[in-house]
Amino acid sequence: MPDSSALDTSASQAPEKAPVRITLRSVLLGAATVVILNIYADYAGMVMGSFSLNKSQFPMAMLIPFGLWLFVNLGLKAFLPRAALSGTELLVIYSMSWIAGNIPFEGFTGYWASTLAAPTYFASPENRWEEAFFDALPWWYMPDASPAVIRPYYDGLAPETPVPWIGWVRPLFWGTAIPIAVLTAGICAFIILQRQWEDAERLTYPLAQFAVELTSGFDEPGRVPRLFRDGVFWAGFFLVFGIFLWNIAGYFAVVLPEITVFGFYLTKAVHVSRDFPPVYLRVLPTVIGLTYFCNLDILLSLWAFRLLAIFKLGIMNRTGFGIGLSGQQAPPSGILDLEGYGAMVLLALWSVWVARGHLQWVWRTALGGVGAPKDEGTVSYRIALLGFGISTVFIVGLMHAFGISLPMAIAHTLMLYIAYLTVAKFTAASGFTHLFPVAVKGGPMLETLVGTANLSRGDLVGIGMVNTGVFFGNLRIPAWPALPHHFKLLSSLTRRRSLVVWLVLLAFLAGLFASFFFVIYLPYIYGGQNLHKGPFNPAGSLVAPYNRLAAKVLESDLTVFDPAKVGVCLFGALEVLLMILLRNRLPWWPLHPLGLAFQNTTGPRIYAFSIFLTWAAKSLIMRIGGIGLYRRAAPFFIGLPIGYIAGVFLSSLVDYIWFPLGDGHYVHGW
């Protein structure tokens, strides 16, 4: 059966058809969109309580404004064609919006602000925070601890009282410096790897193809682009959007029963058997539509390994199986995390090994000027290598300043790079936007493998702080997953290739400053404890990181180095190596090792059923109609996420007008 990946070349070919340029209008509109989307996402999540727009590496926070631009541009092209944006201009807005899409609220800044301000406000004799870690906290990064700054942040300011901005100067400075350092490392890494991923490994970039399919028609003659004249597209659109229209009508006519096909995952749990984790029949149109362009072996891997993980967890739970030394045994979920982490590390190492020839050429080019400038990346490889090295040294220094010893800081930085690069690469390869790294930034795995008895108090506090939301986000990684797509889409659109890098910095800083303003301002106005959703939950996200930190520091039963746990990691790595060898030796081998690495992470755990639906539909389409039917069905799958985006936006607009203060309808989440 032919693999559709051979067809998925439009993302790379479409922008290269003609020498076009990135216009000043598109850059200004992109920057304005970034500012508005950050303000909107913060306000909708914190005040309205309608939804969280940051639940994936491809957040709704950027999809909604991009969808609005599409429909506005449809009107402009139909009635004011001279004012309509070109496909290239829409791609610039799309890319800049994605760069900044995971900055607001639950992406980065919401947890950043609430976590930094929490210790002074919530410390008490009962939780023993002050005894456990106060003298080891990075106070140089935190807001002024005076009651005039901290208390009104959670209780709200008295009328006519100004916001104490001066108390936030330190966190604003370092809260900008840390993300810029991590972002710079990502920019430089992807500049170095861009040619390898595009030309040698030929990643399919489904999320870039999605954008090209939606925007390329605006450069064609006619008042309505070809895709939007296609009834198959509108069938997918209204299949989803019609459900939202029905449910929105139910906001006012309560007798109408709600259609819950897109309901949250906890409402879709199917319990297989005692001691077995539930199977979540979660249907998310964005997952189904965007992964349509993914290779079948990756789709099969993601849902099949999740089913296998459910089986393994159930058997281990029922038999009481554990691994590790007495008193520090890993539970079943911890065993799968160890296995998955070893698999993820091997995927990262294999990516480097496959790219070894390219990396050697990059090194020679940077040192000796071998190769013409056109053979290099978006900027010269010499600058990219220097930028990566300097930013890495800065990140290690920052972790050391957090209290982590130098060897552990180096190890932690390496683990962070492994996690972020793996997620970014396989998001580009799969289009599955809910890939979240095993052990997030690597801190929990570092503690597990090294043993807390071998870590100093400063190590424990520093690792704990780095792995909260104050150090460049959380599960949702700001900017990094967007960067390969940004370079893929825009690098060929201008002779001034460095402009593509400056667009990243412009978009990121515009979004960061806009969101910083609102996540500081809104809690003072409404009272942080009165706000909605995760970052400001006083029973959860506000105190949980510090409670865990206090428990680790005060714990008398410290863990030691455990060979059995290292063995599980090595076993996961060997499984991946075996599958890689089978894929290289047996052309018919159906499984990609990606699913093993992420088998117990949030994405496959919640969305395996949606991935299964895509895999089943695509397999059937390819078997019945081959390449022709695959192409003909593509507009339908593009219409699914656009219909979902339109429905989420319309619901939030109705909430803003008729249910503005906390009475909104939560329509998008896990």
- 664 belongs to a structural domain: no
Tens-place pLDDT, residues 9-41: 344 444 444 446 899 999 999 999 999 999 999
What is the pTM assigned to this prediction?
Answer: 0.93
pLDDT value at position 667? 82
Residue 404 near residue 334, CB atoms below 8 Å:
no
pLDDT at 5: 41
Cα dihedral 485, 486, 490, 496, rounded to 10, equals -140
Rounded Cα gap, residues 78 and 572, in angstroms? 55
pLDDT of residue 583: 93
What is the model's pLDDT at position 480? 97
Q: pLDDT of 221-249, one tens digit each?
A: 888 999 999 999 999 999 999 999 999 99
Q: Is residue 64 exposed (0-12), middle (13-18) or buried (19+ Cβ within 10 Å)?
A: buried
How wide is the angle at C-alpha 169 spanned by C-alphas 163 and 174, nearest 5°? 135
- Please report the pLDDT score of residue 10 as a whole number: 40
pLDDT of residue 422: 97
Decide if 313 is inside a domain: no
In a domain, 268, yes or no: no
Is the residue at 82 inside a domain?
A: yes
Q: Are 93 and 66 in contact (CB under 8 A)?
A: yes
Of the candidates 38, 37, 159, 45, the residue with the CA atom closest to the CA atom of residue 536: 45
Diameter over CA atoms, the chain: 74
Domain membership flag for residue 631: no
Alpha-carbon dihedral 280, 343, 438, 612, rounded to 10 degrees: -20
Distance (Å, whole) CA 56 – CA 106: 10
Instruction: Give CA angle at 577 (574, 579), nearest 5°.
Output: 110
487 CB-side CA count, 13 A = 27
State which residues form the domain around 418. 4-226+327-583+641-658
Residue ranges of the chain whose pLDDT lies below 70: 1-20, 49-51, 369-377, 495, 533, 539, 661-664
Q: Would you list the DSSP string of 587-648? A: TT----THHHHTTTSHHHHHHHHHHHHHHHHHHHHHHHHHHHHHHHHHHHHHHHHHHHHHHH
Residue 325: the pLDDT is 94
Give me the pLDDT at residue 420, please. 98
Number of domains the chain contains: 1
Residue 246 lies in a domain: no
- Measured distance CA(488)–CA(503) in Å, rounded: 14
- Does some domain include residue 498? yes
Q: Taking a C-beta distance cutoff of 8 angstroms, is the pair 115, 474 a contact?
A: no
**Residue 436 covered by a domain:** yes
